[in-house]
């Protein structure tokens, strides 16, 4: 029932999964008996049994009886009071969510118990070696692989973060329940824990009452790193390394990172006015603060582990230098501040305090168990992840989310976020950022004095706990090195706190870490020393894991991409050229724009005068480029241009970036930190996809640009392709074909100029927005488009589904690695003959015509869409910081792709994923090409995956439910349009089965079909209840309780469908 991890759906064995569902269902039933009473529980059970009976009848082909039962079900729901409807919605919504938790954990269980896990590194390396790939070729390809997973804040995550943590807790309890050695008393306590969690969930408001700010969204992304990826990455890299050693004789190099992470949370300003330059700066610093804080925790654990004295000469000399430096520093301190110095201990004959006696959390555990939440066994601790740290958002702390209190995260007490959503929280940044706050000199001195006084107590207390190394001559040399590392990390963290307070920062660059190489240096010295002294077993434990974390996450955890729409850059250049009396930039033709931009890029002077006065929206664009210059490529990733269509769109960003770097460099009196950002055009409409290759050729034919790519980006051009808007523009089938062709054309264009290319895939969670199983998606790319490099977005609810638990995250990381490896060494087959491409063109043409004639050209469709779906009400969910429309219009053109898909998913019609496909396949089959299509399905991976994904969607669609929405909510004059669309859905199913030669939908994925069927007795009543609530709400729009009931049904249906938009 899920688009998230169907990669291993075939591995599901249902007995234990059904046992978990039964356990959770019974416990929820017991909780509800206590919470809502037995009388109402009898009504809930009657609704469930009616739905179950109707579903069974329909699955058995007894349509008439099924229809009678469904009418009875709808009638009883329509007679419910508002209070009863609200309780029913909540009960069924929570049950569907608990089934999802059980399914997620069961995938973990099956992955752990499988003797042979398909698509794992061991499995894929073995296949490639047996297929003729040499061990050396395999080794070097894996080591050179560059995959980046980019987490985005797209508003598709329904569940509040509070509830997400409770669901994780339940998954851990289910895992604990699998233990065979549990005593009867232990199992009873476990059941009590489950009851407590379910009771807590029931008594928690499941709705967000306020929209999240961009900083809230960024914090949620950082929580995913802390709760899961931080633990998963070392374990994943061990799997890669062990498999490499097994099949090639050589382990993965310690600092090699086949996968890294990026983020759009706090950087994606496309159509989101809430993401400002200040938000981007604060989020970047916040990410750095979190990185430093996590490293400090790891260093604490490592210091206790590395207690040995034997070391090599290099480490011994370094330890001695640190002791001498500390002795000198303390002598100076004694002279300047005798009352606070350690000489007090000597004067009074006191002994200096020993090393801290309390071990840090998990310091006593072997490193290999950390990914599993600690514990000496494979079973997780029965604690919510992160409860050993202070909560991220606190009533009187910094950065409290308007919508959510996190149960985990940073423990720093910094003032609250500002009203515009930027957090005053600290993050681990090491770049040099010039504070822009406007303070008087006296105010600055006062602030500095207050901050200094606030740290005296903390610093003195820390000194009491950890006296100088010079007074402990017997201390292990590794602890001296790591103590120095910790001290420097703490200074780095304090510096970031100052920057986030907009206070002047006077730290000496030698006192803090600015790059990951600086942090890696002492760690690698320790590693080499242990190896040379025969303690390799220790070196390859917690220390190796920390080195791998530093190599993967760097100093920022996830580099932040910036994204802005191309029109905003054109408006900014309009303001500049008009100010300089050069005319209006946007009125020039493409050639004149390119000539002007290239000339300015070759120059050495700034284009934008410092005295320029512009409108606030233009100033915000310029401020963003200034922040990008201040932070640089050490903190930021790519600058993505949405709606890119011309070479000038890329050159415009290059010019604005160059100009900002010149200005900021002048202010700083030194070069900007890091390098220039990669500028990445995003082609997303069908028209732009068709021109993508030509745009790249035009860019690379410009000498300045080509030399810039070679010099500053290692001869690498990145190009992003968008799945969401292309699908909304022309339909899923046409979008898939145009994306396939565009990627091939972009690769060919780069090859012509000897430039390497990385394709960045803007995939959504649902099939209608390019989603689907990761492995299938990568394996169906055009040959040559995945040559060891790939970037891909993971959005909204997919982030939690794929990476919310360490075990599922490890599995996903392996799947990314092996899929990219296979596509690189054994590229997918191209179409066997040109005729196949011609047939694709024909299907695409018919499909697009049918889609656009329905969605954009039928004057009744827009009204039908608003009546038949809850699209208008989705905005009340408060699941994202950005508006649902790019512009204030009512048409579908400016509606974002997410609410477009989300609305149709709610009604179980999932129209965006299949509309037009049936017409296209029918048109080609009727011309006598049925056998050709069957051959294409069997032999062409791209065509097969396209058809399989559509078949998967059709398995989720439900015609009787969609019909019920129409009958109750749609005006009589538009009823025929709904009937016509349902006929089109049936036609699509018919021809998909003809091409795939399956007897019924989802025949090749029985597990998926069974998961769908298992939810129908809860999902169908939720849809009927939503229809009834929508009917009432549209007559009483100001009824907040009705609105709450609707939003809860939306949550429940999303949980049942396992995806939203």
DSSP letter for each residue of 56-107? HHHHTT-HHHHHHHHHHHHHHHHTS-HHHHHHHHHHHHHHHHHHHHHHHHHH
User: How many whole angstroms separate alpha carbon 2 and alpha carbon 1058?
Assistant: 5
Pairing state between β 559-565 and 636-642: parallel
Query: What is the per-residue pLDDT across 130-189, written as a single tens digit (0 to 9) for each?
Result: 999 999 999 999 999 999 999 987 555 556 778 888 998 999 999 899 888 889 999 999
How far apart are alpha carbons 294 and 489 in whole angstroms? 10
State yes or no: pLDDT of 347 exceeds 70.
no
CA distance 1044 to 41: 21
C-alpha to C-alpha distance for 87 and 40, rounded to whole angstroms: 9
Task: Give dist(CA 33, CA 41) in Å, integer.
Answer: 6
Residue 355: the pLDDT is: 42
Q: Which secondary-structure segment (H or E) carries 575?
A: helix 566-579
Q: Under 8 Å CB-to-CB from 709, ≥6 apart: which residues?
A: 700, 715, 716, 717, 755
- Which of 622, 660, 619, 653 is CA-nearest to residue 639? 653
State the average pLDDT for the chain.
83
Sign of the alpha-carbon torsion through 162, 168, 170, 172:
negative
CA-to-CA distance for 912 and 905, rounded, in angstroms? 9
Tell me whether residue 333 is one of the annotated catalytic residues: no
* Residue 803 dihedral angles phi and psi, to the nearest 5°: -125, 10
Q: Which residue has the higher pLDDT, 653 or 358?
A: 653
Query: 991: left (phi > 0), else alpha (psi -120 to 50), else beta?
Result: alpha
Say how far apart CA 215 and CA 422 lie, in whole Å: 6
Q: What was the pLDDT predicted at 507?
A: 64
User: In whole angstroms, what separates CA 492 from the centre of its chain?
Assistant: 27
Q: If pLDDT is split at 50, 70 and 90, which confidence band does 880 have?
A: low
552: Cα separation from own chain's centroid: 16
Strands (E) in 781-925, as ranges, are 789-795
Residue 348: per-residue pLDDT = 39
Position 334 scores a pLDDT of 58
754 Cα distance to chain centroid: 32
| Residue partners of 745: CB distance under 8 A and separation at least 6 | 692, 693
Phi and psi dihedrals of 844, rounded to 5? Answer: -60, -40
Whether pLDDT at 267 is above 70: yes
Q: 738 vs 187, 641, 727, 734, CA distance in Å?
A: 55, 19, 10, 6
Structure tokens at 375: 């514990």
Q: Could you tell me the pLDDT band of residue 854, with boundaries at 50, 70 and 90? A: very high
Task: Check pLDDT > 60 for residue 371.
Answer: no
- What pLDDT score was predicted for residue 389? 33
Using DSSP, state whether 425 is helix, strand or coil: coil
CB 318 within 8 A of CB 522: yes
Distances (CA, A) of 230 to 294, 546, 558, 901, 1048: 9, 10, 12, 32, 33
Cβ contact 266:283 at 8 Å: yes
For the chain, the residue count is 1061
Q: Which residues on adjacent β-strands are paired with residue 757?
A: 717
* Given the residues 728, 761, 922, 956, the one annotated as active site: 728
Instruction: Provide the pLDDT for residue 724.
Output: 78
Averaged pLDDT, 102-112: 83
What integer pLDDT is reported at residue 401 of this predicted model? 38
Euclidean distance between CA atoms 177 and 984, whole angstroms: 47
| Least confident piece of the model among 296-305, 467-476, 1051-1060 | 467-476
Matching residue, tokens 């399989």: 948
The one-character DSSP state at 670 is S
Two tokens, residue 726: 């292309």
* Helix or strand run (H / E) with residue 347: helix 343-347
The enclosing H or E element of 616 equals helix 616-631
For a pLDDT cut of 90, what percent of the chain falls above it? 60
Rg of the chain on CA atoms, in Å: 30
pLDDT surpassing 60 at residue 344 = no
User: Looking at the predicted structure, is the pLDDT value of residue 3 above 50?
Assistant: no
Neighbours of 1039 (CB within 10 A): 15
| Continuous H helices in 720-833 | 724-730, 732-752, 774-779, 797-803, 806-825
For the CA atoms of 120, 124, 126, 129, the dihedral, rounded to the nearest 10 degrees, stands at -160
Q: Which residues pair with 640 in a beta bridge?
A: 563, 680
How many angstroms separate the CA atoms of 289 and 496, rounded?
7
- Whether 498 shows a pLDDT value over 50: the answer reads yes
Task: Tell whether the model's pLDDT for residue 714 goes beyond 80.
Answer: yes
Say which range, 242-251, 684-693, 791-800, 827-836, has the weakest mean pLDDT: 791-800
Between 188-197, 387-396, 857-866, the lowest mean confidence (pLDDT) is in 387-396
Given a cut of 70, whether residue 820 has pLDDT beyond it is yes
Exactly one of 154, 408, 488, 922 is catalytic; which is it? 154
The CB-side HSE value for 632 (13 A sphere, CA atoms) comes to: 21
Which residue did the predictor score with more confidence, 896 or 580? 580
User: What's the CA gap between 684 and 270, in Å, rounded?
Assistant: 13
Question: How much of the chain exceeds pLDDT 70, in percent?
Answer: 81
- Hey, what are 108's tokens? 């973990």
Do residues 882 and 918 touch, judged by C-beta distance below 8 A?
Answer: no
What number is the average pLDDT over the span 112-118? Answer: 69
Dist CA 798 CA 1061 (whole Å): 10
Candidates 203, 364, 347, 226; CA nearest to 286 is 226
Q: Classify 605 as helix, strand or coil.
A: coil
Given a cut of 70, whether residue 65 has pLDDT beyond it is yes
Q: What is the pLDDT of residue 886?
A: 53
Q: Which residue has the tokens 């599993």?
A: 372
- Residue-wise pLDDT for 973-1024, tens only, equals 999 999 999 999 999 999 999 999 998 887 777 777 788 888 899 999 999 9
Any idea which residue has 């749609």 for tokens? 970
Cβ atoms 181, 246 nearer than 8 A: no
DSSP conformation class of 540: I
Q: Is 681 helix (H, G, I), strand (E, B) or coil?
A: strand
Asked if 732 contacts 767 with a C-beta cutoff of 8 angstroms, the reply is: yes
- What pLDDT, on the 0 to 100 scale, is given for residue 447? 55
- Cα separation, 648 vs 635, whole angstroms: 26
Burial of 396: CB neighbours in 10 Å, binned 0-12, 13-18, 19+: exposed
Structure confidence at residue 780 as a pLDDT band (50, 70, 90) = confident
pLDDT of residue 1051: 86
Q: Token pair of 641, please?
A: 């241009």
Mean pLDDT of 117-129: 90
Element (H, E) at 262: strand 259-263
Residue 656 and residue 572: Cα distance in Å, rounded?
9
Quick one: average pLDDT of 332-355?
Answer: 44
**pLDDT, position 157:** 52
Query: Does 497 have pLDDT greater than 60?
Result: yes
pLDDT value at residue 604:
86
Q: Return the higher-pLDDT residue of 953 and 8.
A: 953
Residue 728 among the catalytic residues: yes
Q: Quick one: pLDDT at residue 435? A: 40
Among 792, 656, 719, 682, which Cα is nearest to 277's? Answer: 656
């Amino acid at each position: 029932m899920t688009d998230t991890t169907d990669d291993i759906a075939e591995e599901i064995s249902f007995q234990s999964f059904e046992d978990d569902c039964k356990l959770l269902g019974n416990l929820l039933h017991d909780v509800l008996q206590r919470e809502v009473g037995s009388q109402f529980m009898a009504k809930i059970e009657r609704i469930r049994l009616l739905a179950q009976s109707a579903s069974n009848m329909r699955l058995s082909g007894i349509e008439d009886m099924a229809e009678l039962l469904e009418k009875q079900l709808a009638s009883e729901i329509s007679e419910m009071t508002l209070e009863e409807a609200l309780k029913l919605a909540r009960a069924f919504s929570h049950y569907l969510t608990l089934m999802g938790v059980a399914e997620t954990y069961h995938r973990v269980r099956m992955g752990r118990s499988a003797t042979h896990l398909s698509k794992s590194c061991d499995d894929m390396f073995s296949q490639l070696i047996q297929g003729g790939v040499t061990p050396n070729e395999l080794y070097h390809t894996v080591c050179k692989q560059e995959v980046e997973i980019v987490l985005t804040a797209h508003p598709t995550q329904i569940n509040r973060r509070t509830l997400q943590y409770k669901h994780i807790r339940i998954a851990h309890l289910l895992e604990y329940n699998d233990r065979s050695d549990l005593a009867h008393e232990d199992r009873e306590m476990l059941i009590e824990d489950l009851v407590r969690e379910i009771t807590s969930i029931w008594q928690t408001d499941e709705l967000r009452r306020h929209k999240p700010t961009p900083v809230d969204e960024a914090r949620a992304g950082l929580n995913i790193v802390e709760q899961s990826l931080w633990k998963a990455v070392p374990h994943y890299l061990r799997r890669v390394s062990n498999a490499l050693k097994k099949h090639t004789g050589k382990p993965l190099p310690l600092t090699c990172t086949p996968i890294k992470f990026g983020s759009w949370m706090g950087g994606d300003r496309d159509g989101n006015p809430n993401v400002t330059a200040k938000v981007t700066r604060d989020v970047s610093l916040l990410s750095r603060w979190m990185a430093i804080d996590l490293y400090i925790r790891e260093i604490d654990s490592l210091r206790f582990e590395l207690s040995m004295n034997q070391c090599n000469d290099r480490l011994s000399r370094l330890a001695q230098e640190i002791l001498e430096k500390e002795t000198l520093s303390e002598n100076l301190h004694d002279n300047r501040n005798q009352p606070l110095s350690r000489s007090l201990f000597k004067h009074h004959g006191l002994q200096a305090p020993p090393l801290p006696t309390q071990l840090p959390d998990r310091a006593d555990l072997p490193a290999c168990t950390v990914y599993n939440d600690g514990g000496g066994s494979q079973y997780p601790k029965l604690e919510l992840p992160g409860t050993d740290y202070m909560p991220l958002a606190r009533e009187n702390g910094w950065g409290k989310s308007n919508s959510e209190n996190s149960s985990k995260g940073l423990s720093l007490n910094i003032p609250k976020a500002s009203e515009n959503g930027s957090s005053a929280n600290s993050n681990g940044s090491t770049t040099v950022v010039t504070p822009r706050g406007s303070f008087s000199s006296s105010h600055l001195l006062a602030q500095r004095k207050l901050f200094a006084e606030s740290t005296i107590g903390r610093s003195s207390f820390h000194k009491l706990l950890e006296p100088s190394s010079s007074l402990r001559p017997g201390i292990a040399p590794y602890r001296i090195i790591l103590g120095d590392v910790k001290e420097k990390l703490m200074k780095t963290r304090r510096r970031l706190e100052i920057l986030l307070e907009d206070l002047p920062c006077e730290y000496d660059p030698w006192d803090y870490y600015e790059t990951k190489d600086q942090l890696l240096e002492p760690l690698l010295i320790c590693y080499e020393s242990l190896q040379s002294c025969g303690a390799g077993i220790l070196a390859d434990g917690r220390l190796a894991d920390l080195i791998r974390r530093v190599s993967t996450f760097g100093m920022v955890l996830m580099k932040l991409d910036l994204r802005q729409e191309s029109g905003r850059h054109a408006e900014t250049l309009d303001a500049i050229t008009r100010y300089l009396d050069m005319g209006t930039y946007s009125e020039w033709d493409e050639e004149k724009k390119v000539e002007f931009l290239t000339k300015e890029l070759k120059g050495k002077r700034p284009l934008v005068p410092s005295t320029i006065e512009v409108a606030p929206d233009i100033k915000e664009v310029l401020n963003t480029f200034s922040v990008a210059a201040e932070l640089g490529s050490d903190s930021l990733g790519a600058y993505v241009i949405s709606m890119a269509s011309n070479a000038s769109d890329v050159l415009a960003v290059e010019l604005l970036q160059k100009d900002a770097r010149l200005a900021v460099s002048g202010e700083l009196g030194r070069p900007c930190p890091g390098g220039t950002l990669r500028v990445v055009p995003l082609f997303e409409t069908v028209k732009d996809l068709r021109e993508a290759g030509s745009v790249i050729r035009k860019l690379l034919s410009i000498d300045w640009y080509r030399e810039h790519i070679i010099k500053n980006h290692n001869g690498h051009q990145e190009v992003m392709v968008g799945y969401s808007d292309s699908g909304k523009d022309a339909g899923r089938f046409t979008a898939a074909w145009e994306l396939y062709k565009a990627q091939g054309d972009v690769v060919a264009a780069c090859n012509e100029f000897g430039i390497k290319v990385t394709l960045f895939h803007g995939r959504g969670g649902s099939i209608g927005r390019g989603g689907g199983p990761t492995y299938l998606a990568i394996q169906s790319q055009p040959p040559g488009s995945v040559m060891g490099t790939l970037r891909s977005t993971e959005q909204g609810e997919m982030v939690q589904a794929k990476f919310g638990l360490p075990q599922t995250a490890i599995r996903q990381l392996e799947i990314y690695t092996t899929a990219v490896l296979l596509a690189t060494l054994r590229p997918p087959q191209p179409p066997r003959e040109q005729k196949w491409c011609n047939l694709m063109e024909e299907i695409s043409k018919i499909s697009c015509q049918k889609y656009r004639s329905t969605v954009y050209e039928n004057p009744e469709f827009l009204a039908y869409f608003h009546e038949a779906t809850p699209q208008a009400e989705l905005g009340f969910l408060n699941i994202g910081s950005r508006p649902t429309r790019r512009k204030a219009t009512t048409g579908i053109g400016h509606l974002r792709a997410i609410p477009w898909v989300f609305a149709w998913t709610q009604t179980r019609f999932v129209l965006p994923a299949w509309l037009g496909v049936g017409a296209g396949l029918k048109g080609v089959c009727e011309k006598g090409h049925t056998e050709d299509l069957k051959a294409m399905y069997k032999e062409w991976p791209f065509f097969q995956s396209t058809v399989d994904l559509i078949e998967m969607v059709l398995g989720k669609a439900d015609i009787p439910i969609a019909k019920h929405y129409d009958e109750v909510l749609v005006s009589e004059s538009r009823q025929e349009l709904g009937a016509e669309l349902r006929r089109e859905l049936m036609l699509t199913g018919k021809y998909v089965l003809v091409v795939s030669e399956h007897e019924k939908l989802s025949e090749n994925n029985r597990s998926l079909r069974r998961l769908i069927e298992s939810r129908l007795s809860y999902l169908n009543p939720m849809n009927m209840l939503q229809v009834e609530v929508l009917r009432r709400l549209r007559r009483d729009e100001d009824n907040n309780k009705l609105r709450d009931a609707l939003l809860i049904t939306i949550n429940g249906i999303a949980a049942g469908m396992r995806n939203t938009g």
